[in-house]
Structures are given as structure tokens and as C-alpha cells.
Amino acid sequence: PEFSYTIERGKLREFLLAIEDNNPAYRVDDPPLPPTFPTVFMFWGGGDIGGVLRDLGVEMKNVLHAEQEYEYLAPLHVGDTVTGRTQIADIYSKKGRSGEMQFVELLTEYTNQHGEPVLKDRALIIVRE
């Protein structure tokens, strides 16, 4: 699925309040984005990881978010519009103490308003049976 998000100064402020980050570097005219700010893109931009998992027949009550990793390919700025495309990168199983677990690796690749690659977002989801 594809979705877009415009980076707004107000959302950046909300995010900084939520993570209790008072760093003065974020209070300049063209502030950098905190490393984990792209989490906002998925939630406020309409990305639907839940929909991807439901399409696989996964019940959300069995889902555990295990890892999140961001690879920056170019700087992001307030005012940029990013477009993300999410795909399933891998699915595999492991046996755990409580039974079989499925691992779903999702890759979301983002481009900016100029079509340039800016970010790769890898998420690992564990599905318990």
C-alpha cells in the first residue's frame, strides 16, 4: 500500500512533547527531525500495517511489534512530503517456549516530493499462534 505524509512543524512539536525531548536544536527555523520521527508517517499518513497483516489472516490480538529500524538515505525537513510504499520483505517461523511464532518483516521505502529515495523503514512483527 502507498501513503503520503507532509512533515508539519506542529506534528514535530507534538512528537517532541510526547518523547519529552527539550533539545534546543529542535527550536530553530529548519530543525532536524528526531531519529524516530518517521514513526509518525505511518500513523498519521495513513499507512496500514494492520491491513497488511489482516490480509495475511493475522489476528491483531496475536501481534507483537519486535523491532523498528530506520535507514536515512537523505535529510528530511519540515515541509517535505514523503510517500511510503510498504511490502512484505520476508516471512519465517521459529519455535518458541510457548509454541510456534511467525515473523513478518515489513519494508517501507519512502521518497520525497521530488521522487528521490529518502528513507527505508524496516519493521519486524511477531505473530504468536
Terminal CA-to-CA distance of the chain, rounded, Å?
A: 26
pTM of the model as a whole: 0.86
CATH architecture of the domain 2-128 equals: Roll (3.10)
Helix or strand or coil: residue 15?
Answer: helix
Task: Check: CB of residue 103 under 8 Å from CB of residue 95.
Answer: no
Give, for all 129 residues of the chain, the pLDDT tens digit: 689 999 999 999 999 999 999 999 888 888 899 999 998 887 777 777 777 888 888 888 889 899 999 999 999 999 999 999 999 999 999 997 888 899 999 999 999 999 999 999 999 999 987
For the chain, the domains span: 2-128
